[in-house]
Chains A and B, each alone.
Chain A
Amino acid sequence: MTPPLLYALAGAGLFALGLHAFLIRRHLFWKVLAFNVMGSGVFLVLIGAPASPPGGGADPVPQALVLTGIVVAVSATALAIGLALRVAAKTGHPHLPEDADA
């Protein structure tokens, strides 16, 4: 098992973990955290899965993609946390109404 493959498999595992938490956790902050875990999983897959070029070194394209992806994820996280705070302030609960029963 090569290190890149290890990264890719770890990424898939992280994505699955995050997806699980995203679906079952009710607290909005948990959901935002789970989204970030899922995102990290995808980034690991991006870095790990492409085969290294024959001449050695790393393929620069996935690294550029991950960099862009991190910027997008940070912006999305900021918006999500801001919105979650406003939801909590307005409704008094840090979760969506359909999740309120539990």
Chain B
Amino acid sequence: MSPDSPWIVWAVVAPLIAALLAAGFGPRATPLVFLTGVLGVPVSAAALAVQVERFGPQRHAIGGWGEPLGIELYADGLAALMLLVSAVVGAAVSVYASGFFGAGQAPPVPVMATDGSSVGYGHAPPVAVAGYPGGAAPAPPRAPHGVLAPGMPDASGAGQALTASPPADARAGRFFWPLWMLLWAALNALFLSRDVFNLYVTLELMSLSAVALVTLGGTDAATVAGMRYLLMSLLGSLLFLLGVALLYAAYGTLSLDGLASAAAGALDGGGSIPPATVLALAVMTVGLCIKAALFPFHAWLPPAHASAPAPASALLSGLVVKAAFYILVRLWLQVLPVAVPGAALRLIGVLGAGAVLWGSVLALVQHNLKLLIAYSTVAQLGYLFLLFPLLTDGGSPAAGAWNDAAWSGGIYQALAHACAKAAMFLAAGSMIHASGSDALVALDGISHRLPLSFTAFGLGGLTMAGLPPSGGFIGKWLLLTAAFETGRWVWAGVIAGGGLLSAAYVYRVLRHAFGRSEALPPPAPVPRRMELAALGLALVAVALGVAATRPIELLEVGAGPLAPMTGAMSEPGGAYADPAPGGSQSHEPISPDSPARGSGLSGAPARPPALPGAAARCAPILTGTLAQAPLPSTPGP
């Protein structure tokens, strides 16, 4: 493993090539798509993680053009971990989707015809959350979000020949692959971005592909949900872009490092944080919260995630919503911690707590499986935002108290939830296909008929409820530890209460699944690879709970504010002025061919003093305390 191998580039380029292949050659290219994207991304993500683990943060200037004009890719421990999870979830979903959309399979065979009077159990496609196949049937009365009310007769029609496999039509499959590969490329590029404008572009690319994925099912509900998602998403992006414009106006730089040191430097120099910075941070935060579906901006999420085809739901709930959270963490804790008042930390924590409780309660009253899982996503996303108020003793993170239990816990919850929720959506897709309906009551006895999918769902449920051994347990336990250590009992109560509610809604599904099944028609066969993909992903979520030390150690690489407030500005000039950035950054394997720094920019406006170097980044902020944190083997509270 050479420190110079550009694996960081392949993590973005591989899915991009796959997207072009899939768009250009259609289903014939599916094997190539698997080779370049589905194999390429996990390999490059794993290699990059090893590089980060061994050699510290990785940086690559694309085409040799570094900041400020070029685009730089940068991976620290956080980025490498997000990339790894994106790779694992993405690979499993791809395997699942190849069964779901029937890529390269024989034409579907009619196996049975249903009696139209068998209420609720007609074998509609799994997107039947939304209603009726083909869109030709007369619209049935619908509940508020265009979702079939429980037990409502499925309009799949009397005597209609139904198919065993694949569960979705090939047309949707044709569009799924290019869209998903594009989404993957955008997502990976987002995790590796190091300037705010790139974050905007990748965020927008990701959202546009995600909206298209929602509408793949072609049903009325999916179209309406996709439209609502698109509008909310565009609003969020524009707010973020407005913040980018304000930040550039204030500091004349877009790079995260440059912004961090400029803001900290202004404060160090006896100045105060300009109002434009606070305004920029505020509009960016609102935009990102809309995109992350943080309570009370969550209303768009459940219909969109529930009406998408199962693989798309898994990607949206598992990965896409985490991207906005990731940017928020970077901005608040690493780039502009000096501009975040303690009140804002508590406010966003309150919203997170609201999401945990309200989302769980709504999940508890759903009658449809995918809607239940989608509301569970709203609730579990709330946990991520509890990271903010638990960070310090009520002060701003700039105070320097970098409470690693809350930080690791919040991020770990994001990683575990990505795997577990994707596994649950995949398993739900299989179960819905088998039972022919999205209603919870239709799941009676599914545990006997689809034991693998059922197991995957149950293991995912462990993470939702935060029970050991699961990744969700580690995340929630670390958050609880942070709350206990500082005596903040209210937050601890929210974490524990949310876990109980989660256990309750997971139990509702399990109760149906264990039910009796004699009176039901035989289940539609489910391709085996769909079941195995969901189970594999659920096992990863459990493994995250068993082997937590290594990921958490990786998370510490490069963590901490990018520019500490005191004593940081001792290296004026820094990267922008120094054509050969060595010195303090020497441990970073910067490719020797990054000539753009300081060259060719003589006409450009004066840049602020640049980043104080990696001294800040590798400061031992996080050392030690983890050893004291009670980790996996400790039984739950």
Contacts and interface: CB of A to CB of B under 8 A. Distances in A.
Most buried by B among A35, A45, A90: A90
B246 A45 contact: yes
Interface string B574-616: 0000000000000000000000000000011110000000000
A57 B227 contact: no
B252 A50 contact: yes
Interface string A40-73: 0110011001111111010111100100110010
A80 B204 CA distance: 13
B198 to A, nearest CB: 10
Interface stretch (B218-226, B328-336, B492-500): B218-226
Interface residues of A, number: 41
A74 to B, nearest CB: 12
Interface stretch (B231-239, B353-361, B407-415, B456-464): B231-239
Contact of A87 (B197, B205, B227): B227
Contact of B227 (A42, A54, A84): A84
A83 interface: yes
Contacts of A38: 238
Chain B, interface size: which category? 35 or more
Interface string B182-208: 000000000000000100010011001
B242 A42 contact: yes
A31 B145 CA distance: 20
A6 interface: no
A71 B605 CA distance: 25
A35 B237 CA distance: 10
B227 A96 contact: yes
A39 B215 contact: no
Contact of A72 (B146, B201, B223): B201
Contacts of A2: none
Interface in B226-255: 226-228, 230-231, 234-235, 237-238, 241-242, 244-246, 248-249, 252, 254
B144 interface: yes
A83 B246 contact: no
Given A28-B227, A87-B223, A79 B249 contact: no
Contact of A59 (B197, B245, B604): B604
Given A28-B227, A46-B245, A61-B68, A35 B603 contact: no
A61 B67 CA distance: 12
A90 B135 contact: yes
Given A83-B211, A90-B135, A97-B144, A76 B204 contact: yes
A22 B237 CA distance: 14
Nearest to B234: A35
Contacts of B542: none
A68 B604 CA distance: 19
A57 B603 contact: yes
Contacts of A53: 603-606
A18 B49 CA distance: 43
B235 A22 contact: yes
Contacts of B127: none
B245 A42 contact: yes
B69 interface: yes
Interface of B: 68-69, 135, 144-146, 197, 201, 204-205, 208, 211-212, 215, 220, 223-224, 226-228, 230-231, 234-235, 237-238, 241-242, 244-246, 248-249, 252, 254, 603-606
26 contacts: A15-B238, A22-B231, A31-B231, A35-B234, A39-B241, A49-B249, A50-B249, A50-B252, A53-B603, A53-B604, A55-B603, A59-B605, A68-B197, A75-B208, A76-B237, A79-B230, A80-B227, A80-B234, A83-B211, A83-B215, A83-B227, A91-B223, A96-B227, A96-B228, A97-B144, A97-B146
Which 9 interchain pairs have the tightest Cβ spacing? A49-B249, A53-B605, A46-B245, A45-B245, A90-B220, A87-B227, A42-B242, A83-B227, A42-B241
Given A62-B248, A97-B146, 4 more contacts: A35-B231, A49-B249, A61-B254, A79-B212
